[in-house]
């Protein structure tokens, strides 16, 4: 029963990540002004990363209860990544973006680097979460 609950939670998280990448982000830039889209994204990103962290910690607790060490380690990596994205990278990205808009060229390259790092962590989390679900399927259904 624990493995089904774990997979359910991870599927919710993966689904929300796909929805954000495929629907929310592209829609924001098409429908909102630059100022409004910036304000919206600065509100939603920290909340999305917090949501990912909470779901990951709940999943980690289930893995710990079930004694699955590999999944627990992978989920610790994902949880830390979400917190790094929320508490460190997002504020830096916002700060560099503000400075870039003021004309600071050095801030522009820092913004691009931090944004790329944030995206790569997001993709890494996605791959790890998907891998856990696939591993669970093969471990418990074969």
* Whole-structure pTM value: 0.91
Q: What is the pLDDT of residue 141?
A: 62
Q: Number of folded domains in the chain?
A: 1
Which range of residues forms the domain containing residue 92? 2-141
Estimate to the nearest angstrom the gap between the alpha carbon of 73 and the chain centroid.
17
Q: What is the pLDDT of residue 3?
A: 87
DSSP state letters, 68-104: -HHHHHHHHHHHHHHHHIIIIIHHHHHHHHHHHHTT-
Q: Which of 26, 22, 45 lies closest to 97 in space, CA to CA?
A: 45
Q: CA 3, 4, 10 angle in degrees (round to 5)? A: 90
Residue 1 has pLDDT above 90, yes or no: no
Residue 112 has pLDDT above 90, yes or no: yes
Helix axes 105-141, 2-19, angle to 10 degrees: 150
Q: What is the pLDDT of residue 142?
A: 53
* CA dist., res. 93 & res. 108, Å (int): 10
């Amino acid at each position: 029963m624990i493995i089904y609950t774990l997979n359910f939670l991870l599927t919710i998280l993966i689904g929300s990540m796909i929805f954000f990448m495929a629907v929310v982000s592209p829609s924001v830039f098409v429908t909102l002004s630059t100022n409004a889209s910036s304000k919206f994204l600065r509100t939603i990103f920290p909340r999305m990363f917090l949501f990912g962290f909470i779901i990951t910690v709940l999943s980690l607790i289930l893995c710990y209860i079930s004694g699955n060490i590999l999944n627990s380690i992978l989920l610790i990596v994902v949880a830390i990544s979400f917190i790094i994205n929320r508490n460190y990278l997002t504020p830096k990205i916002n700060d560099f973006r503000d400075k870039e808009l003021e004309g600071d060229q050095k801030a522009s390259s820092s913004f691009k680097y931090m944004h790329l790092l944030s995206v790569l962590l997001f993709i890494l989390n996605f791959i790890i979460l998907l891998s856990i679900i696939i591993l669970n399927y093969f471990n418990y259904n074969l």
